Chain A
Amino acid sequence: MAIEYIGLNNIQGPLAVIEGVDNTFYEEMVSMTLSDGTKRMGRVVEISGDKAVVQMFEGTDGLSLENTSTRFTGEPMRLKLSREMLGRTLDGVGRPIDGMGDYFAEEVRDVNGSPINPVAREYPRNFIQTGISSIDCLMTLIRGQKLPIFSGDGMPHDNLAVQIARQAKVVDSDDTNGDKFAIVFAAMGVKYDVANYFRRSFEESGVLNKVVMFLNLSNDPVVERIITPRCALTAAEYLAFNYDMHVLVILTDMTSYAEALREISSSKGEIPSRKGFPGYLYSDLASLYERAGIIADANGSVTQVPILTMPNDDITHPVPDLTGYITEGQIVLGRNLNLTGVYPPVDVLPSLSRLMKDGIGEGFTREDHPELSNQLFASYSKVEDAKSLASVIGEDELSELDKKYLAFGREFDKRFLTQDAYENRSIEETLNLGWELLGMLPKSELDRVSDETLDKYYGKTEV
């Protein structure tokens, strides 16, 4: 027996307040019918006595204090899960919008998920070859990792994400046709064109039947945006841990997600912390990012590549800042590199992969990889010093050594960073290219490499 509550007591932004309610619970789903017959969904976000504050997913437009009838569903926000989701397009709360009808639900799960017990986690160690030199060599992506792309408006982060998805699809040597690979794509507040770009790219590379798309576009309701990544990750966990698939989750754009959170927080009248974002932004972002990983009981994995645009390219903005504290590294795109036509414009120095140290080297990639990547980082940071000196005293006045560094830096940008959007380099090629470039520097400058490695690789590859 379901009780229907007629009317509302208060409407404020996306929130509706109903009084006289009993027996509702925190985060319960609410179904509201307007007098014209349309239905809307909402979620209980605060309870105070017999008063329930409901957050409306499709906004509160057209609601009045009298024209609604509300039913409490008795369930938290749940998502229907099935293998059939692969190849489907769903809206921000998981309803099919591709005109192909509903799919059969094998299981229904709470989208909030539960934290993975650290004891049950498997430490990620398997290297994913993305075919992109800068990433493979310097900030290696590991299966089960969460490695965001920090970008800015107008930079090719979407192309990069698509290239990663396209080239990382073969995940096991025994899985040559990619049966165990899936992509979950969640768009939060992005433009239609962007979502469509991803869709076309997946289609072109023939993986569309392995993709689940959750779309909350920029003109879709803001409140839905809070649920979208949770639906996507619930689907990813299901595919990874029930079907042993290796799932790559692309979340874009995390900045819009955080802004949606801020909008709702301020309409609830919460005390803001930095830049108006709520104090729980860290915990909230963590509840998404921490859902990447591998558990010991299953063979699948969830790897996350969230994309976020840094407002005004500011890496200290709360969203990239807090993200960097949670994720296991970051790929930072640089405005200057992009302007000089380098693609992918990966800004090497601030980029990092925290998990690479255990997933590269002997038995994973090649024994010289750790030392090589360390040396490239160290040498490239000296290029920056040489550049800033050159900008003061002019390049001609530089010492011989600094000139060599400048030349090294130019070649590094031109040959190591730059590659075609369809160029798929093997890790061997990438590492050899790295040695080739280091060959431009005198041996005594390579202080991060042991003598044995130097003897084996320095000057051995032909320029």
Chain B
Amino acid sequence: MANAEGRIFGINGPVVKVRGTGAFEMQEMVRVGSEELIGEVIGVTDEETVVQVYEETVGLRAGEKVAGTGGPLSITLAPGILSNIFDGIERPLSKIREMTDAFIARGTKVDLLDNKKKWNVKITAKKGDMVSGGAIIAATRETSLIEHRVMIPPNLSGMIDWIAPDGEYTICDVIAKVRNENGVTDICMRQEWPIKKPRPYAERQAVTKPLVTGQRVIDTMFPIGKGGAAAVPGGFGTGKTMTQHQLAKWCDADIIVYIGCGERGNEMTQVLNEFGELIDPKSQRPLLDRTVLIANTSNMPVAAREASIYTGVTLAEYYRDMGYHVALMADSTSRWAEALREISGRLEEMPAEEGFPAYLASRLSQFYERAGYVTNLNGTEGSISIIGAVSPQGGDFSEPVTQNTKRFIRCFWALDKSLAYARHYPAIQWLSSYSEYINDLTRWYEKNVSRDFMKKRAKLMAILQEEASLMEIVKLIGSDVLPEGQKATLEVARAIRVGFLQQNAFHKDDTYVPLEKQDKMMDAILLLDKRLTELVASGAVISKITSTGIVDDIIRIKYTIGNENIDAPFDALMKKINDTFDAASAAPTAQNSAAPETR
């Protein structure tokens, strides 16, 4: 059957209206105009078809041809994805650069993945095997870090009729044939998958393991599970991108999908440079080997920005199906929502809040629900964790994107302007952030880190909470007039804020802190708290302790104690704390000795 065809009737920004005889399908991918720009059908009426174009429409004429492709917008899945950088519809930017120059020209036609490169493939299935969708039949080393597992497409099952021997193959070479009642299907390493359709899995599981990030305020205070979804909202300059970069660098996922959606070009260049240089501590290989970047900078076409999120999550699902744990960073989902708004406005749809379309919430939920910890069709386990940055207008969290996002995530890291102004990074505000994963993850922490990890966390949170209410008073009358007990609380809270929550991303040790050290740091702070409380109960003043500088020693743990062999230095520190307090209470000051009851 011939594909639908029509003629351009109207043009308004990225939205093109088409009239013609052919019957276009919704979400069908189309080629627009003589330059064959890529577009997608987003509306069909009896007289015209509405197409959003993923490239600049300057120069497009009324009357030019629009041709359907017969299928939805799809991307290619095969080895060659990792350590690559793509635009919003999976066109490799380095290839585009070779073909044009430093600027991206329109209508550039390029293979999504390298069809010519030969991969050294090891076949793992054999002739006569019964296979179903998702079954792994071969493997190849895609990068030094990741083995790419070649799978049967999800919707196919049958018996392997023929299979190639181990050897060098391109992604288009047939490596197996599968026979079923419908006939014989050729299998090559390459698959196509429509980006807006989630890839199937066998069963969704509960989130029970944390995504360890090495960032104290996240791992200890507001942890996210593997398969979870988190949002990082914050006004400009509060460090959303910095937080995303830190997570992409250090989190313990196998694969990182980093989507720069409507953000700065220089930031993508930075990720590209930095990740090529940074070495994964576990494997001694460049971090770029486990990373795929999707760059749709703010000046690239707006419709492709809308697609970039789906492209990213489809790539993530593909690696999840192989049995990997994938972390997906989307920076920023607000730009994506604005792309929806812009296109919706051009379609003259009835706007809901602040001009956003009424379907904003359902689109957001469809995206975040693609996160999850699953059992794959082939029996392996994999996960996708989604961390979406949100850029609320004016830093006001009551705007529609933040509010709707909050409904579909369970972990909320609120970035705070005043913390960022004071250069307290990461500027995650401990009182307004939350994680609903704490209960799900408590067992894991108890088993793998320390028995009372979450109890210690709760204690720290309580101190911070108390500090916040004390600060109300301090703001009015100053801290000097507080009773000693409350002064002690403020001192411990300072140790928590500066020594624990604040973390230096540019320091070689402090940029990533293992859970064991986080645990010990909490121990040190809680010991300080306990001893201070005892001291105050005995009637002493806390300046006896604060003048010794022991609190600053605790604050400086992050720099003075490395990440390895931490037991001895921590034991020494704990001893020093105890000794300082023992000395302080053994040598009463003039005040104490003058106290009436000692007479």
Interface positions, chain B 328-354, Cβ under 8 Å from A, are 335, 338-339, 341-342, 344-345, 348, 351, 354
B residues less than 8 Å from A272 (CB atoms): 355
A48 sits at the interface (CB 8 A): yes
In chain A, what residue has the closest Cβ to B399? A274
B393 sits at the interface (CB 8 A): yes
Taking a contact as CB atoms under 8 Å apart, the answer to whether A122 and B264 are in contact is no
Most buried by A among B85, B299, B498: B299
Q: DSSP majority for the B interface?
A: mixed
B residues less than 8 Å from A450 (CB atoms): 559
**Chain B 379-393, CB within 8 Å of chain A: the 1/0 string?**
000000000000101
Q: How far is the CA of A326 from the CA of B302 in the complex (A)?
A: 15
Q: How far is the CA of A315 from the CA of B396 in the complex (A)?
A: 12
CB distance from B247 to the nearest CB of A (A): 18
CB distance from B165 to the nearest CB of A (A): 37
A82-90, A160-168, A203-211, A349-357 - interface stretch: A349-357
Taking a contact as CB atoms under 8 Å apart, the answer to whether A328 and B475 are in contact is no
A311 sits at the interface (CB 8 A): no
Taking a contact as CB atoms under 8 Å apart, the answer to whether A328 and B101 are in contact is no
A459 sits at the interface (CB 8 A): no
Taking a contact as CB atoms under 8 Å apart, the answer to whether A26 and B262 are in contact is no
In chain A, what residue has the closest Cβ to B423? A377
CB distance from A42 to the nearest CB of B (A): 15
The verdict on A27 contacting B58 (CB below 8 Å), with A280-B302, A286-B262 known, is yes
A416 sits at the interface (CB 8 A): no
Taking a contact as CB atoms under 8 Å apart, the answer to whether B299 and A117 are in contact is no
A residues less than 8 Å from B422 (CB atoms): 349, 377-378, 381-382
Q: How far is the CA of A381 from the CA of B100 in the complex (A)?
A: 49
The verdict on A122 contacting B236 (CB below 8 Å), with A49-B62, A274-B354 known, is no
Q: How far is the CA of A354 from the CA of B100 in the complex (A)?
A: 30
Taking a contact as CB atoms under 8 Å apart, the answer to whether A46 and B12 are in contact is yes
Taking a contact as CB atoms under 8 Å apart, the answer to whether B59 and A25 are in contact is yes
B residues less than 8 Å from A370 (CB atoms): 506
A residues less than 8 Å from B555 (CB atoms): 447
Taking a contact as CB atoms under 8 Å apart, the answer to whether A118 and B265 are in contact is yes
Q: How far is the CA of A279 from the CA of B93 in the complex (A)?
A: 28
A residues less than 8 Å from B97 (CB atoms): 117, 119-120
Taking a contact as CB atoms under 8 Å apart, the answer to whether A278 and B345 are in contact is yes
A247-255, A290-298, A432-440 - interface stretch: A290-298
A residues less than 8 Å from B9 (CB atoms): 48-49
CB distance from B233 to the nearest CB of A (A): 13
Name B269's contact: one of A26, A28, A113, A123 (CB within 8 Å): A123
Name B299's contact: one of A46, A76, A290, A316 (CB within 8 Å): A290
Most buried by B among A26, A290, A317, A354: A26
Q: Give the A interface residue count (CB, 8 A).
A: 87
The verdict on A389 contacting B295 (CB below 8 Å), with A118-B265, A120-B102, A279-B341 known, is no
Name A26's contact: one of B57, B260, B393 (CB within 8 Å): B57
CB distance from A371 to the nearest CB of B (A): 10
B483 sits at the interface (CB 8 A): no
Taking a contact as CB atoms under 8 Å apart, the answer to whether A117 and B11 are in contact is no
The number of chain B residues touching the other chain, given as a range, is 35 or more
B395 sits at the interface (CB 8 A): yes
Q: How far is the CA of A448 from the CA of B502 in the complex (A)?
A: 10
Name A355's contact: one of B266, B338, B391, B474 (CB within 8 Å): B266
In chain A, what residue has the closest Cβ to B305? A283
Taking a contact as CB atoms under 8 Å apart, the answer to whether B506 and A118 are in contact is no
B residues less than 8 Å from A322 (CB atoms): 393
Most buried by B among A123, A274, A279, A293: A279
Taking a contact as CB atoms under 8 Å apart, the answer to whether A287 and B475 are in contact is no
CB distance from A376 to the nearest CB of B (A): 9
Interface positions, chain B 60-109, Cβ under 8 Å from A, are 60-63, 85, 93-94, 96-97, 100-106
**Chain B 524-557, CB within 8 Å of chain A: the 1/0 string?**
0000000000000000000000000100100100
A444 sits at the interface (CB 8 A): yes
B590 sits at the interface (CB 8 A): no
A residues less than 8 Å from B100 (CB atoms): 117
Interface positions, chain A 185-200, Cβ under 8 Å from B, are none
A residues less than 8 Å from B236 (CB atoms): 321, 324-325, 330
Q: How far is the CA of A354 from the CA of B245 in the complex (A)?
A: 14
The verdict on A393 contacting B478 (CB below 8 Å), with A121-B266, A123-B266, A279-B345 known, is yes
A residues less than 8 Å from B101 (CB atoms): 120, 297
CB distance from A145 to the nearest CB of B (A): 8
B residues less than 8 Å from A219 (CB atoms): none
Taking a contact as CB atoms under 8 Å apart, the answer to whether A274 and B342 are in contact is no
CB distance from B403 to the nearest CB of A (A): 15
Q: How far is the CA of A153 from the CA of B428 in the complex (A)?
A: 34
Taking a contact as CB atoms under 8 Å apart, the answer to whether B62 and A392 are in contact is no
The verdict on A389 contacting B265 (CB below 8 Å), with A279-B355, A329-B237 known, is no
B183 sits at the interface (CB 8 A): no
CB distance from B77 to the nearest CB of A (A): 22
B residues less than 8 Å from A116 (CB atoms): 102-104, 265
In chain A, what residue has the closest Cβ to B64? A25
CB distance from B227 to the nearest CB of A (A): 30
B residues less than 8 Å from A397 (CB atoms): 478
B residues less than 8 Å from A289 (CB atoms): 298
Taking a contact as CB atoms under 8 Å apart, the answer to whether A49 and B393 are in contact is no
CB distance from A9 to the nearest CB of B (A): 16
A424 sits at the interface (CB 8 A): no
Taking a contact as CB atoms under 8 Å apart, the answer to whether A25 and B345 are in contact is no
Interface positions, chain B 499-519, Cβ under 8 Å from A, are 506
Name B355's contact: one of A50, A273, A350 (CB within 8 Å): A273
Q: How far is the CA of A116 from the CA of B344 in the complex (A)?
A: 27
CB distance from A75 to the nearest CB of B (A): 10
The verdict on A47 contacting B266 (CB below 8 Å), with A286-B299, A378-B423 known, is no
A residues less than 8 Å from B11 (CB atoms): 26, 46-47
Taking a contact as CB atoms under 8 Å apart, the answer to whether A123 and B270 are in contact is yes
Interface positions, chain A 102-125, Cβ under 8 Å from B, are 110, 112-124
B273 sits at the interface (CB 8 A): yes
In chain B, what residue has the closest Cβ to A325? B236
A residues less than 8 Å from B300 (CB atoms): 115
B residues less than 8 Å from A118 (CB atoms): 85, 93, 260, 265, 268-269, 272, 295, 297
Taking a contact as CB atoms under 8 Å apart, the answer to whether B237 and A330 are in contact is yes
Q: How far is the CA of A435 from the CA of B233 in the complex (A)?
A: 35
Name B104's contact: one of A117, A329, A330, A402 (CB within 8 Å): A117
Interface positions, chain A 305-338, Cβ under 8 Å from B, are 315-318, 321-322, 324-326, 328-330
A residues less than 8 Å from B355 (CB atoms): 271-274, 279
A residues less than 8 Å from B57 (CB atoms): 26
A residues less than 8 Å from B298 (CB atoms): 282-283, 286-287, 289-290, 326
Taking a contact as CB atoms under 8 Å apart, the answer to whether A22 and B552 are in contact is no
The verdict on A282 contacting B262 (CB below 8 Å), with A46-B10, A350-B421 known, is yes
* A interface list, Cβ under 8 A from B: 22-28, 46-50, 76, 110, 112-124, 144-145, 241, 270-274, 278-280, 282-283, 286-287, 289-291, 293, 295-298, 315-318, 321-322, 324-326, 328-330, 349-350, 352, 354-355, 357-358, 370, 374, 377-378, 381-382, 388-389, 392-393, 397-399, 402, 444, 447-448, 450
> 23 A-B Cβ contacts within 8 A?
A23-B62, A26-B11, A46-B11, A46-B12, A47-B12, A114-B105, A115-B103, A115-B297, A117-B104, A144-B266, A278-B345, A280-B302, A296-B102, A316-B394, A316-B396, A317-B394, A321-B236, A326-B264, A328-B264, A330-B237, A355-B266, A381-B422, A399-B479
* B interface list, Cβ under 8 A from A: 9-13, 17, 56-63, 85, 93-94, 96-97, 100-106, 235-237, 260, 262, 264-266, 268-270, 272-273, 295, 297-300, 302, 335, 338-339, 341-342, 344-345, 348, 351, 354-356, 391, 393-396, 417-418, 421-424, 474-480, 498, 506, 549, 552, 555, 559
Contacts beyond the supplied A47-B10, A393-B477: 13 A-B pairs with Cβ under 8 Å: A47-B61, A117-B93, A117-B97, A119-B85, A121-B102, A123-B269, A271-B355, A283-B342, A289-B298, A290-B298, A318-B393, A370-B506, A392-B476
